[in-house]
Amino acid sequence: MAKSDRFLKACRCEPVDRTPIWLMRQAGRYMKEYMAIREKYDFLTMCKTPELAAEVTLQPVRIVGVDAAILFADILLPLEGMGIDLEFAKNEGPVIHNPVRSSADVEKLKLIDPHEATGYVMEAIKLIKLELDGEVPLIGFSGAPFTLASYMVEGGGSKNYINVKRLMYSEPGVWHALMEKISDVVVAYLDAQIESGAQAVQVFDSWVGCLAPDDYREYVLPHQKRVMEGLAGRGVPVINFANNASTLLEMVAESGGDVIGVDWRIDLDVAWERIGFDKGIQGNLDPIALFAPPEVIRDKAGAILKKAAGRAGHIFNLGHGIHKETPVEHAKYLVEVVHELSAG
Amino acid sequence: MAKSDRFLKACRCEPVDRTPIWLMRQAGRYMKEYMAIREKYDFLTMCKTPELAAEVTLQPVRIVGVDAAILFADILLPLEGMGIDLEFAKNEGPVIHNPVRSSADVEKLKLIDPHEATGYVMEAIKLIKLELDGEVPLIGFSGAPFTLASYMVEGGGSKNYINVKRLMYSEPGVWHALMEKISDVVVAYLDAQIESGAQAVQVFDSWVGCLAPDDYREYVLPHQKRVMEGLAGRGVPVINFANNASTLLEMVAESGGDVIGVDWRIDLDVAWERIGFDKGIQGNLDPIALFAPPEVIRDKAGAILKKAAGRAGHIFNLGHGIHKETPVEHAKYLVEVVHELSAG
């Protein structure tokens, strides 16, 4: 089997020669080759310059040996065209200068044509596909509606999500209108990525783990479903990843997706049983385990593969993005050891 | 039934007239009466002055109407006597100037006599008991070994727990030696609180939710068990609370405790079934739900009581500490509504 086939076959729960592996945030600061570029350009410039985005997207394929590339981009990019005033403040993460908190704020938000509003993303995808030349598949991605909404309402990152939850609880009509608009944008944005050449897409619900199950069911599930239904039948696998959401897994699986991503807080076998074996599963090594000595990394990778029990449909990944201080040789070793231990 | 009986009876899974309720971090900044004192004294001075600690401990009993008082203190206090150089930096949380990272560091740590090292805590307990005069019971508390260890190794709060996990994975012998020392201190510290008059104790494992289940089993469970076994048979109920630990619940329950605390990320009925109905359960309203309008708070409190299904052994609480911006009248309303909806 060609290396290029592993990831997409696993997404369809078909047998593979070795368990495919890629790492969330694999194009990142733990690589000196990435830092060499990052020192010359700011983050948004890297996202918006197709040649730079393509270069850092390819780095982990060449250097770490992963089985899939994932587009280098930020989940907030499609919000700019919607009318969100976005800034990446130095060392502070994203800041939104016009947070969305009222009915009037939601009405003002525009639906985007992603080919126009985020044309640079589509150009990057085309360039990456050309340079990859079939070596490994390319994954496109978007933030999920809740995570994008939480940035928009909070005006940036958040610890307690007070503004988001207050809006949900106090003005459910405004909340649902916001989530509907965002959901439409997410579907259009990922559709455009697929048209441009993305061979799979992942939807990241990074912050949804702050919700109680009843709140997920009422305020998120219908919208997440709409996104997943909007992407079904496009001919590419859809990975649905909700972070810190072990107690929401059944609902996340119910919302849709061919593959469900899980973080490291749950045993992979327990998670897969709850998701259902008709779907694939992606995960789930603790990213901080890459700070352990190689023999511990080997044991932990082996334990996860054992929980997958050789069942078709497992894509190995970290349970969250790789940390910027991770030793790059440990990331390489993880890829080797997953391939070695899952062979034949 | 006297109001004073509700909490302790519920801890023993005995029937009660109304579901008892208290709020984690109930002596806190959301109350103007607390802030009036906090503006005059720094945090450590408040902890170390029995009269001040007693005064703020009593405030939520008088103002919010909760069914139990909990000692005002910080979980890091017993570490000072162990040789930890602790500072509460302005607006930055605790800073430890001599983090524990090596075998030599662990060896240097002293076991404490809590009556000496934290005599002010024991004085505060005696004073509170006198002033409460049986109105409601007093809960003592301690941090759990993992949470205390994580502060000691990281040197303060942490986002990714890299130093803690690196130590666990790289030098398991040093890790276990550290956890053993801390466990001994926790038992002695809580024992002293019980001798001084605490009528129940809670062990807070605030940060353990960062661990994969296999890591909890190997690096934490034996020590947590040792603490729980050390406290059993003291004649007071022990509440075992692990935050963001829904996937660890069976192991947390296995470690011991009469009542298991759960955060808001899991349905109370699902959690109780996994814990076992022979134990009590404490929780589990999302603290941020107190920012919702009263009718939503009422609905959410009602939904949790419905999941408890009138079964003996439920203590109502938030799923985490009350947030400092919470409207105090919403906290009061929650207490009223829990009493009203659970009556007869």
Chain B residues with CB-CB distance to A286 below 8 A: 165, 211-212, 215
Q: Is the pLDDT of residue B206 over 90?
A: yes
Q: Is A193 on the interface with B (CB under 8 A)?
A: no
pLDDT range class, residue B88, cuts 50, 70, 90: confident
Q: Is the pLDDT of residue B89 over 90?
A: no
Q: Is A288 on the interface with B (CB under 8 A)?
A: yes
What is the pLDDT, as a whole number, of residue B2?
Answer: 76
Q: Is A286 on the interface with B (CB under 8 A)?
A: yes
Mean pLDDT of B68-83: 97
CATH number assigned to the domain covering B42-61+69-261: 3.20.20.210
Q: Is B162 on the interface with A (CB under 8 A)?
A: yes
Does A161 sit within 8 Å of B296, measured CB to CB? no
What is the pLDDT, as a whole number, of residue B194?
Answer: 98
Min Cα separation B106/chain A (Å): 20
Instruction: State percent of chain A over pLDDT 90.
Output: 96
Q: Is the pLDDT of residue B344 over 80?
A: no
Tell me the pTM.
Answer: 0.97
What are the tens digits of pLDDT across the range A250-284? 999 999 999 999 999 999 999 999 999 999 999 99
Q: Is the pLDDT of residue A64 over 80?
A: yes
Q: What DSSP assignment string belongs to B131-162?
A: HHTTSS-EEEEEE-HHHHHHHHHHTB--SS-H
The residues near B233 (Cβ < 8 Å, ≥ 6 apart) are none
**Are the C-beta atoms of A148 and A182 separated by less than 8 Å?**
yes
Does A265 sit within 8 Å of B212, measured CB to CB? yes
Q: Is A293 on the interface with B (CB under 8 A)?
A: yes
Q: What is the mean pLDDT of chain B?
A: 97
Q: How many residues does chain B have?
A: 344
Does B212 sit within 8 Å of A162, measured CB to CB? no
Does A293 sit within 8 Å of B170, measured CB to CB? yes
- Closest alpha carbon to A313 in A275, A267, A281: A281
Edge-to-edge strand list for the sheet holding B238-242: B69-70, B138-143, B200-205, B238-242, B259-261, B280-285, B314-318
**Are the C-beta atoms of A181 and A106 separated by less than 8 Å?**
yes
**Are the C-beta atoms of B131 and B54 separated by less than 8 Å?**
yes
Mean pLDDT of B56-81: 97
What is the pLDDT, as a whole number, of residue A78?
Answer: 97
- Closest alpha carbon to B291 in A161, A341, A231: A161
The kind and range of the H/E element at A196 are helix A172-196
What is the pLDDT, as a whole number, of residue A90?
Answer: 76
What are the tens digits of pLDDT across the range B107-124? 999 999 999 999 999 999
- Helix B145-154 crosses helix B162-170 at what angle (to 10 degrees)? 100
**Are the C-beta atoms of B10 and B20 separated by less than 8 Å?**
yes
Domain spans of chain A? Answer: 1-26+262-344, 32-63+68-261
What are the tens digits of pLDDT across the range A205-221? 999 999 999 999 999 99
Q: What is the mean pLDDT of chain A?
A: 97
Min Cα separation A209/chain B (Å): 8
State whether residue B94 is helix, strand or coil: strand
Token pair 């441009």 is found at A196
Does A215 sit within 8 Å of B165, measured CB to CB? no
Chain A residues with CB-CB distance to B169 below 8 A: 289, 291-293, 296
B240 sits in the region (left: phi over 0; alpha: psi -120 to 50; else beta) called: beta
Name the residue facing B292 among A170, A287, A319 (closest C-beta).
A170
Does B247 sit within 8 Å of A162, measured CB to CB? no
Q: Let me know if A234 is a catalytic residue.
A: no
Q: Is B91 on the interface with A (CB under 8 A)?
A: no
Does A213 sit within 8 Å of B266, measured CB to CB? yes
Level-2 CATH architecture, domain A32-63+68-261 = Alpha-Beta Barrel (3.20)
Name the residue facing A325 among B162, B266, B300 (closest C-beta).
B162
What is the pLDDT, as a whole number, of residue A3?
Answer: 83
Q: Is A172 on the interface with B (CB under 8 A)?
A: no
How far, in Å, CA of B180 to CA of B219, rounded?
11
Token pair 């809580």 is found at B190
Q: Is B265 on the interface with A (CB under 8 A)?
A: yes
**Are the C-beta atoms of A305 and A338 separated by less than 8 Å?**
yes
Phi, psi of A285 (to 5 degrees): -75, 135
Phi, psi of B342 (to 5 degrees): -100, 0
Cα–Cα distance list, A208 to A252, A255, A273, B95, B288 (Å): 10, 14, 21, 30, 14
Instruction: State percent of chain B over pLDDT 90.
Output: 96
Which entry of A6, A34, A101, A151 is annotated as an active-site residue? Answer: A151
Does A165 sit within 8 Å of B323, measured CB to CB? no
Lowest mean pLDDT among A10-24, A88-102, A231-245, B312-326: A88-102
Buried-state track B250-281, b at ≥16 Cβ within 10 A, e below 16 = ebbbbbbbbbbbbbbbbbbeebbebbeeebbb
Q: Where do the H-state alpha helices sit in chain B?
A: 3-11, 32-38, 43-48, 50-63, 77-82, 103-108, 114-117, 119-132, 145-154, 162-170, 172-196, 213-215, 221-231, 249-255, 268-275, 294-308, 328-342
pLDDT range class, residue B165, cuts 50, 70, 90: very high
Q: Between the CA atoms of B9, B13, B16 and B21, what dihedral angle is there, to the nearest 10 degrees?
A: 80
Does B161 sit within 8 Å of A296, measured CB to CB? no
Token pair 């009660």 is found at B16
Nearest residue of A to residue B299 by CA position? A169
Q: Is the pLDDT of residue A79 over 90?
A: yes
Chain B residues with CB-CB distance to A325 below 8 A: 162
What are the tens digits of pLDDT across the range A126-164? 999 999 999 999 999 999 999 999 999 999 999 999 999
Does B270 sit within 8 Å of A160, measured CB to CB? no
Name the residue facing A246 among B161, B169, B246 (closest C-beta).
B246
Pairing of the two strands B86-89 and A314-318: unpaired
ipTM value of the model? Answer: 0.96
Name the residue facing B209 among A265, A291, A292 (closest C-beta).
A265
Q: Is A36 on the interface with B (CB under 8 A)?
A: no
Name the residue facing B293 among A170, A244, A270 (closest C-beta).
A170
Q: Is the pLDDT of residue B204 over 90?
A: yes
How far, in Å, CA of A285 to CA of B164, rounded?
17
Q: Is B286 on the interface with A (CB under 8 A)?
A: yes
As given in the structure block, the two tokens for residue A267 are 């045993």
Cα–Cα distance list, B87 to B42, B77, B328 (Å): 11, 10, 29
What are the tens digits of pLDDT across the range B166-189? 999 999 999 999 999 999 999 999
What is the pLDDT, as a whole number, of residue B124?
Answer: 98
Does A264 sit within 8 Å of B247, measured CB to CB? no
What is the pLDDT, as a whole number, of residue B23?
Answer: 98
Instruction: State percent of chain A over pLDDT 70.
Output: 100
Q: Is the pLDDT of residue B66 over 80?
A: yes
What are the tens digits of pLDDT across the range B2-50? 788 999 999 999 999 999 999 999 999 999 999 999 999 999 999 999 9
What are the tens digits of pLDDT across the range B227-283? 999 999 899 999 999 999 999 999 999 999 999 999 999 999 999 999 999 999 999
Mean pLDDT of A66-90: 95
What are the tens digits of pLDDT across the range A166-206? 999 999 999 999 999 999 999 999 999 999 999 999 999 99
What is the pLDDT, as a whole number, of residue A305?
Answer: 98
Mean pLDDT of B294-310: 98
Q: Is B291 on the interface with A (CB under 8 A)?
A: yes
How far, in Å, CA of B137 to CA of B3, rounded?
10
pLDDT range class, residue A125, cuts 50, 70, 90: very high
Q: Is A91 on the interface with B (CB under 8 A)?
A: no
Phi, psi of A315 (to 5 degrees): -110, 120
* End-to-end Cα distance, chain B: 12
Task: State the amino acid at position B124 in one-letter form.
Answer: A
What is the pLDDT, as a whole number, of residue A20?
Answer: 98
**Looking at the annotation, which residues of B are catalytic?**
25, 29, 38, 74, 151
